[in-house]
A and B are shown apart, each in its own frame.
Chain A
Amino acid sequence: MSAAEEPKETAQSHTPRTPPLSAALGAFNTDPSQAAADEVPPPEDGGLDLSLLKKKKKKKKVEGADGDAEDEAAPAEDGGLDLTIKKKKKKAKKVEGTEEDEFTAKLKQLEVKDAEEAEEAAQEEGDMETGTGVWSHQESKTIPYTLLLSRFFTVLSQKNPDHSLSGTKSYKIPPPQCMREGNRKTVFANIADICKRMKRTEEHVTAYLFAELGTNGSVDGSRRLVIKGRFQQKQIENVVRKYIIEYVTCKTCRSPDTELNKGENRLYFITCNNCASRRSVTAIKTGFSAQIGKRKKMQG
């Protein structure tokens, strides 16, 4: 609606140089009703803010009183520009969104599938412990493979929890909680929890984080990590992922059930509790860091 209104006004301002100008000026100086007659009728639907803008700008320009003809054009252009910028932003967001959307869609599909399977299973399944449905003693129907498999795993987890723990899905680490503290610091709130899950010392994880992110920081009163610099949750998650790959999972059996020990000669060794393999890991190195900021400070 505003788009329809803009060209008309710009045309007015550009082609007949004097008449609308004088009308507008006169309107502001003397007669508000006339101005209302000139301007308000076209933008009845939603042109309110635009007209407001114009009024403000005109008042300012009346004092200056040089490029009056352009005055009317300027706000319209502003409006146009704003729109395009908004559109661009939206597009950019959409591009980001689509990636995520695809991912989430896939996830949802998976979830839906799971849910469907679960429903189907529930219909046929009955209760395997009490022996109802398919599992009843007198039931002669063949039990589908998926049900048998699920039964196997439930029985396994009941009777032998240690064994089922080494499965692939059981290793979960909560996503890092990041908060912005002030403008240029990030708080990594649940580092203690994550370290506990990984069975690693907080110092080691912190050292790795700082080396990877190329910053430094401190630990605050409630054992949260305060990192200098702005970081998003995603970034920290990536670093934690790298840490897990490098310092937590066993390279031979992929099990996360490992221990990090300091061997002799300042080397760190990872011992796997699952397959008893032992390997050395690289020490955390900060590496080269360029100097940022004022040189005077650095020199003394």
Chain B
Amino acid sequence: MSIENLKTFDPFAEADDDTGDTKKVENHIHIRIQQRNGRKSLTTVTGLPAKFDPGKILTFFRKEFACNGNKVNDEKAGEVIQLQGDQRKKVMDFLVDKKAGLGLNPDNITVHGA
């Protein structure tokens, strides 16, 4: 009995599915790009750490990158920052930069899209 129980329950997989996954969403930052009509595009930043104020980051982005943007509260992804145009590299630089930026670990940030 006990051995069979052990077989069916895979502790690692379960953890990864439930707790590990939700943690990942919080910790891991995704920078994505979406194509719009023509040569226009949209950059989305999800999973920013809670200790930063998304509103302040957004105002900084808007001023620094000279683009409009807004924040959206998504059910799954939480606070999402949307920016007009392809700002992935700039956002990445800002998030990683230790002096002028947030100084986050680049391993926790993934840049998607081609």
Contacts and interface: CB of A to CB of B under 8 A. Distances in A.
Given A235-B114, A288-B77, A214 B10 contact: no
A289 B34 contact: yes
A290 B113 contact: no
Chain A interface size range: 20 to 34
Contact of A280 (B16, B82, B112, B114): B16
Contacts, number: 62
Contacts of B80: 288, 290
Interface string B5-17: 0000010011011
Interface residues of B, number: 23
Nearest to A285: B30
A215 B77 contact: no
Interface string B23-49: 000000010111110000010101000
Contacts of B114: 212-213, 231-232, 234-236, 238-239
Contacts of A211: 112
A212 B113 contact: yes
Interface stretch (A85-93, A98-106, A164-172, A262-270): A262-270
A214 B46 contact: no
A219 B46 CA distance: 30
B10 A265 contact: yes
A91 B112 CA distance: 30
A202 B82 CA distance: 31
Interface of B: 10, 13-14, 16-17, 30, 32-36, 42, 44, 46, 72, 74, 76-77, 80, 82, 112-114
